[in-house]
Amino acid sequence: MTCPHLHAAGAAQPQITDACQDCLTAGFTDWVRLRSCLTCGHVACCDSSPHRHATAHFRDSGHPVMRSIQGGESWRWCYIDEALG
Tell me how far apart the terminal alpha carbons of the chain are, to the nearest angstrom: 12
pLDDT tens-digit map of 9-54: 999 999 999 999 999 999 999 999 999 999 999 999 999 999 999 9
Residue 34 lies in a domain: yes
- SS3 assignment, position 83: strand
pTM to 2 decimal places: 0.94
Residue 32 lies in a domain: yes
Measured at the CA of 18, the angle between CA 13 and CA 24, to 5 degrees, comes to 105
Task: Write 23-30 long-range contacts (CB < 8 A, 24+).
Answer: 23/49, 23/51, 23/53, 26/51
Residue 5 lies in a domain: no
Residue 70 lies in a domain: yes
- SS3 assignment, position 59: helix
Q: In this structure, what CATH number is given to the domain that contains residue 73?
A: 3.30.40.10
**For the chain, how many structural domains are there in total?**
1
Residue 1 has pLDDT above 70, yes or no: no
By residue range, what is the domain housing residue 76? 14-84
Residue 9 lies in a domain: no
